[in-house]
């Protein structure tokens, strides 16, 4: 069972599970997901798409081995536009997914986020760090939704005996990201490919650590197969400044787009880099796709979405 399975990461997770022979049911309300992400599974008898809202109680016939909970708006653009829906996904959605796992005696995996660390005062971020989050800031709906989801997951483990784990993912990127979702990688790629100025927030000195989607999916499944309760960081410890990332994407795209510096959003994290010692130790997991390879694959995917006519017009 994959909640949010029509989204960017969720759809890759559904693909991987089907490749491994598992029957998969996805539930998604399509607020930010897309059936296009699941086009390769449309006629697969081992895959079922249920269009529905996890904030309402839901069920699945038959046995369930694992409930993988990803349902939530995840980009700044989306959770800014849908703050209440984001908070409900973290609260009601997590509660309903946990209840399904309890009824089915299934392993429950909460896919949380590095955003629970807020603008961190500890670097790199370790799982024992409690974070530096503004509970009433412009990013609070996402940060606090995930923090509450972690607390709820922990409560179900300790008081109801549900077999749970929590993973915190860092800056996942790759094919199927939406061009207009507001995150750095798709922004930089689409701007570079169209010859538009590449917009860098602030002076670009803030850092991010990019993890290719295939690696993130492998980490989620490793956690699902483990007996560790988490939280466990899943990310790539290689750290880039945002301005260096913009220049690197521009170079890989063969673009001469100028860099333009714009206002830094409020509460934008200054630092982001995971300590993945725990993931290496208890899951035997670490990222294997280097950033150059991952960015090239992502750039190629975005180019294919643009189509030959658009590419020729720009050229």
Alpha helices (H) in 20-93, listed in sequence order: 76-81, 83-88
First to last CA, the chain: 44
d(CA 58, CA 64): 13
Query: Which H, E and C letters describe 142-177, residue by residue?
Result: HHHHHHHHHHHHHHHHHHHCCCEEEEEECCEECCCC
Quick one: which of 101, 14, 12 has its CA closest to 50?
14
Q: Does 142 participate in catalysis according to the annotation?
A: yes
Closest by CA position to 90, among listed 161, 12, 3: 3
DSSP 3-state of 40: helix
Beta strands at 207-208 and 240-241: parallel, antiparallel or unpaired: antiparallel
How many whole angstroms separate alpha carbon 179 and alpha carbon 278? 33
DSSP 125: B
Per the residue annotation, which of 79, 117, 129, 142 is the catalytic one? 142
Residue whose structure tokens are 């290719």: 212
Which of these, 287, 257, 289, 292, lies nearest to 273 by C-alpha position? 287
**Whole-angstrom distance, CA of residue 201 vs CA of residue 264:** 5
By DSSP bridging, strand 211-212 and strand 172-173 are parallel
Q: Give the active site residues.
A: 142
């Amino acid at each position: 069972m994959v909640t949010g399975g029509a989204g960017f990461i969720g759809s890759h997770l559904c693909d991987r599970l089907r490749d491994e022979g598992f029957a998969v049911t996805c539930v998604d309300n399509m607020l930010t997901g897309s059936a296009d992400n699941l086009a390769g599974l449309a006629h697969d008898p081992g895959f079922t798409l249920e269009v529905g809202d996890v904030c309402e109680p839901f069920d699945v016939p038959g046995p369930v081995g694992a409930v993988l909970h990803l349902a939530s708006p995840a980009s700044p653009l989306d959770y800014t536009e849908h703050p209440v829906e984001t908070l409900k996904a973290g609260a009601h959605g997590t509660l309903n997914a946990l209840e399904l796992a309890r009824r089915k005696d299934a392993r429950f995996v909460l896919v949380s986020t590095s955003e629970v660390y807020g603008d961190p005062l500890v670097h790199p971020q370790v799982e024992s760090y409690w974070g530096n989050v503004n509970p009433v800031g412009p990013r609070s709906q996402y940060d606090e939704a995930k923090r509450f989801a972690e607390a709820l997951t922990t409560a179900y483990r300790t008081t109801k005996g549900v077999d749970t784990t929590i993973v915190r993912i860092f800056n996942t990127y790759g094919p199927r990201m939406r061009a207009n979702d507001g995150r750095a990688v798709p922004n930089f790629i689409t701007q570079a490919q169209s010859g538009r100025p590449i917009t860098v927030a602030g002076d670009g000195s803030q850092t991010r650590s990019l993890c290719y989607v295939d690696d993130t999916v492998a980490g989620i499944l490793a956690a699902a197969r483990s007996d560790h309760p988490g939280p466990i960081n899943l990310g790539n410890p290689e750290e880039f400044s945002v301005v260096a990332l913009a220049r690197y994407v521009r170079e890989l795209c063969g673009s001469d787009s100028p860099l333009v510096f714009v206002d830094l959003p409020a509460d934008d994290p200054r630092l982001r880099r995971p300590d993945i010692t725990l993931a290496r130790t208890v899951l035997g997991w670490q990222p294997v796709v280097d950033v150059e390879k991952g960015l090239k694959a992502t750039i190629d995917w975005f180019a294919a979405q643009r189509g030959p006519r658009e590419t020729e017009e720009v050229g």
